[in-house]
Structure 1
Amino acid sequence: MTDRLSATDAAFLYAEDASTPMHVGGVVILHPEPGTFDYREIVDLISARLSLVPRYRQRVRFVPGRLGRPVWVDDEDFDLTYHVRRSALPKPGTMSTLDELVGRLISRPLDRARPLWEMYVIEGLEGGRIAIVNKTHHAMVDRIGAVDVAAAILDLARRPRRLPDEPWIPVPPPSDIDLVVDAVADIASRPSDLVDVLRLAAADIGSTVSKVARAGVDVVEMVRRTVNPAPRSVLNVTKSGQRRFASFRVDLADVKAIRAAHGASVNDVLLAAITGALRTWLLARGEAVTPTTTLRALVPMSVKGSPVTGDEEPDGGPVNPVVSYVVDMPVAEPNPVMRLHQVSFAMGAHLESGRQVGADSLLELGRFAPPTLHALGARVAGQLSGRMYNLLITNAPGPQLPLFAAGSPVVAMYPVAPLAKGQALAVACTSYNGGVFFGLTADRDAIPDIEEFAVHIGEAVEELLPAPGTGVVTGRSRPASAAGRPGTSARVRSARRLGEQK
């Protein structure tokens, strides 16, 4: 039977161009014992775990004339050494140098003639650490429960778990005639697919909105947001297809202390910190921040305690327990505590009313179910009009226990979210083993100071911390003149150098 891409995956594949690569990724930092790291062990581990991710040995094959959606076929010439690559940083191997390299790596589209993933093992990071950078196309992780190859190599113990040997024998690919015959047969059996064929032939992703007409009130909300567009912002200026990346870590204990002091959620605290960072960053750039200034964020969230119910999408895929909210971020508010309360109120109103810009409508729109919230958020962002939001923010809670890869402990994991068309900034964060790790993706020319923005996130968290021994948050904001000043918050600025080595 033909393994055909879903309608959404095919649409993303057709819409992808050099300026908008449609891949997600991540940066995992390992800290092996001195003299114990062996690159060959990483390659062997990935090879042994490929049986968990069979899609990673398949490539996309297009149907002649676009008579049907593309199909997955086994790559008879699969070469693991092409996909897993070795590199090194120049001394002293700082995090800033690594971030610069990551920005360049995620700027490059994946080779469509091969399986749509790459992994880079980067040595020379300060402190004897190793970075593993992965890139995976959206279409590779299109179902709940799908496993990303970067996750497949992680273990709960130093000794890697052993899997039974499963020899891989590629299935010969179909001929062009076979592809055409199968496509015609699919259309005959499901006439509704003809609409998808015509839409894909025109590469018109926007027309998929018509599929959510039955979603009722959620569609009204989507239309309202489009008619009432997001505020004009420097965040909606795309100047190039090149990217910058910045990483930052904060202590999860600090975030929880702020949560406890205000009765907010961890997600509220993180959104408030990003809002504070946006305010400081805008002021430092000389942008106008008036009492009415807001920025609108698209915030996908997992539905806690909502496992798959057994419902299915029209194409047979499971319903994804994720909703997406459009949140107005109060960047005009100078008081950090008031910002947190405003964010909490906005998110609470969404949660109580169920007026998410997501839920059934976005599921109908995309039929997507990637394994991580970051991947889902990127897919949602790519399908919604750029008029609806200024930036994407994803937050996925991770395991609070140590993980290992090839016997080396994982000390940090930074998510990498791609930019949708017309967007200049995406913020992804995940918690892991006592830390919250931020990964910021930016248009290289539109936001050259993305590293400063990352530091502002740490400063915004520090503003909200309760005074030592009191449990009281002072809520004192920094004056605009202090924004980005080199002497501001030495504790925060040292976090990037020391945080991942804890």
Structure 2
Amino acid sequence: MSAKSPDLLAPLDLAFWALETADHPMHLGALGVFDADGPSAAEHARELLAARAAGVAGLRMRIAGVLVPVGGAARVPAADFDPLDHVGLSAPVADFHAAAGELMRRPLDRGRPPWEAHVLPAADGASFAVLFKFHHALADGLRALTLAAAVMDPVAPPEERRRATRRTPADGTEAADAERASGPRLPLPGMRAVTLDDLDPRRYPGHLRSVLGGAAQALAIGASVARAGVGVRSSPALTSTATGTRRTAGVALDLDDVHRIRKVAGGTVNDVLIAVVAGAVRRWLDDRGDGSAGVEPRALIPVSRRRPRTAHPQGNRLSGYLVRLPVAEPDPLARLRAVRAAMDRRKEHGPSRGAGAVALLADHVPPLGHRLGGPLVGQSARLLFDLLVTSVPLPSLGLKLGGSPLTGVFPLAPLARGQSLAVAVSTYRGRVHYGLVADAVAVPDLDVLAGAFAAEVAELAEACRAR
């Protein structure tokens, strides 16, 4: 492939790009907290981030429209890229999450590479935080993690890092070069160049089966979405008229507590983490007077479908499970059993079926359809699910920036239009970190919800001990 060939956005990337409006940003984020190793640690961190960002090819890419396919877009190098336009240093702050909320409400500049890093020094000088913001069209959670890790301190000897970089570069450029050498770049997922073999009539039945299979999958997912909306029992607290405002909060829990609960109650760590969300929402609704009786909101649990060494290493490849959270159930262990049973059923059917696989429908929409239908789809998110609960994997190795150790990472998910709350969770070095993003007008009491997470884990642990 020539150097001028565009890196076309995958259908889901294009959908995310089209969904965003000026008054409703759709970027994701991560708030990393570091112990400061000196009074100038935050300033030094900003200098390092800017210097290292200049060498990461993935951070130089902006999103630009293309002529073919009509309505499509591609990642292209920004000729005027300046890392200092993307990396900022704020005045000292008393509350990292309060500052992050204000920054998350600001849309990314769509004319530049859509990412930012904000260094936030603590008022007491003992720590600092870095808020990374990435647009989904540039990077999903896994890709954003890779790009952020590329600007951290090295974690291996130089020679070992060089060997690892040749195998799996952080910015994906060398892997992409290898793929280009093996054959031409495909225009879009699901489309390919015509070859002489395609003229063989014996191949047509196979193509026909593929087309019919895709249509059948789309119809089945659509029917599942319709069924999932029957008898929905959500709460007005999870519904919001989009205001563009943002509030964030973070919760750090002991991973050993989660493992002890899992060993007694069964299931997976993820089952426990989702059940904790259900219990925390129950406590929050009761505390604010809305009540949890009869509430069973639909939680969308994203599932990555990315495969190693694919032709589109940067593209979003997501499906998901749609699970009704047992918020109305008063018994914490019964809530966990309900979550476990629901997740087991979804896993049995797989991530390519059911209402949670609605993201796969993006593959069946032409680029122009995403451009024209993006605003309408954005308005309909509330009809598809009530709450996003997503997990972001993190490396177990301790990371540092300028010698300052990373002590916690709070992932921050995009907030769908019409919804008041999104929850993301990750584990890092023996701790579970929940990142909460809310509409600041609809959820002024986000700190109350954050406090409910620790209370729910404590109640689950006590129930397990009693059992």
Task: Give the alignment's TM-score, normalised by structure 2.
Answer: 0.76
| 6, 13, 17: which one aligns with 2:17 | 13
SS of structure 2 residue aligned to 1:20: coil
Per-residue deviation, residues 16-68 of structure 1 (Å, max 9, x unmatched) = 1133212111001111323462624543354335433x232132334589944
Partner of 1:362: 359
Indicate how the Cα distance of structure 1 residues 360 and 17 shifts in structure 2: closer, same or farther if over 3 A, else same.
closer
SS of structure 1 residue aligned to 2:382: coil
Partner of 1:275: 278
Alpha-carbon separation, structure 1, partners of 2:407 and 2:43: 18
Alpha-carbon separation, structure 1, partners of 2:33 and 2:146: 17
Indicate how the Cα distance of structure 1 residues 126 and 144 shifts in structure 2: closer, same or farther if over 3 A, else same.
closer
Partner of 1:76: 79
Partner of 1:102: 100
| 472, 482, 486: which one aligns with 2:465 | 472
Indicate how the Cα distance of structure 1 residues 158 and 247 shifts in structure 2: closer, same or farther if over 3 A, else same.
farther
Per-residue deviation, residues 196-245 of structure 1 (Å, max 9, x unmatched) = xxxxxxxxxxxxxx996331544432232245556353212224110110
Indicate how the Cα distance of structure 1 residues 133 and 13 shifts in structure 2: closer, same or farther if over 3 A, else same.
same
SS of structure 1 residue aligned to 2:8: coil
Are residues 1:136 and 2:153 paired?
no
| Alignment check: 8 A CA contact 1:249 1:437 kept | yes
| 452, 455, 468: which one aligns with 2:451 | 455
Alpha-carbon separation, structure 2, partners of 1:133 and 1:249: 17
| 321, 341, 348: which one aligns with 1:325 | 321
Alpha-carbon separation, structure 1, partners of 2:347 and 2:70: 42
Shift of 1:331: 1.2
Indicate how the Cα distance of structure 1 residues 454 and 144 shifts in structure 2: closer, same or farther if over 3 A, else same.
closer
Task: Give the alignment's TM-score, normalised by structure 1.
Answer: 0.71
Alpha-carbon separation, structure 1, partners of 2:61 and 2:325: 42
Partner of 2:27: 23
Structure 1 window deviating more from structure 2 (155-164 vs 344-353): it is 155-164
Shift of 1:362: 3.0
Alpha-carbon separation, structure 2, partners of 1:60 and 1:319: 13
Partner of 1:247: 250
Shift of 1:266: 0.9
Shift of 1:454: 0.5
Alpha-carbon separation, structure 1, partners of 2:116 and 2:62: 13
Shift of 1:365: 2.3
Per-residue deviation, residues 329-377 of structure 1 (Å, max 9, x unmatched) = 1111111121111211221222234375478663352599xxxxxxxxx
Partner of 2:385: 389
Alpha-carbon separation, structure 2, partners of 1:224 and 1:442: 28
Number of residues of Structure 1 aligned to a counterpart in Structure 2: 407
Per-residue deviation, residues 306-335 of structure 1 (Å, max 9, x unmatched) = x727777xxx67997754111111111111
SS of structure 1 residue aligned to 2:264: helix
Are residues 1:87 and 2:87 paired?
no
Segments of structure 1 that go 5 or more residues without pairing to the other structure are: 165-184, 192-209, 369-380, 475-502
| Alignment check: 8 A CA contact 1:268 1:343 kept | yes
| Alignment check: 8 A CA contact 2:39 2:125 kept | no
| Alignment check: 8 A CA contact 2:139 2:315 kept | no
Segments of structure 2 that go 5 or more residues without pairing to the other structure are: 166-186, 194-211, 366-376
Alpha-carbon separation, structure 1, partners of 2:379 and 2:215: 15
Partner of 1:214: 216
RMSD of aligned C-alpha atoms? 3.7
Partner of 2:299: 297
Are residues 1:33 and 2:26 paired?
no
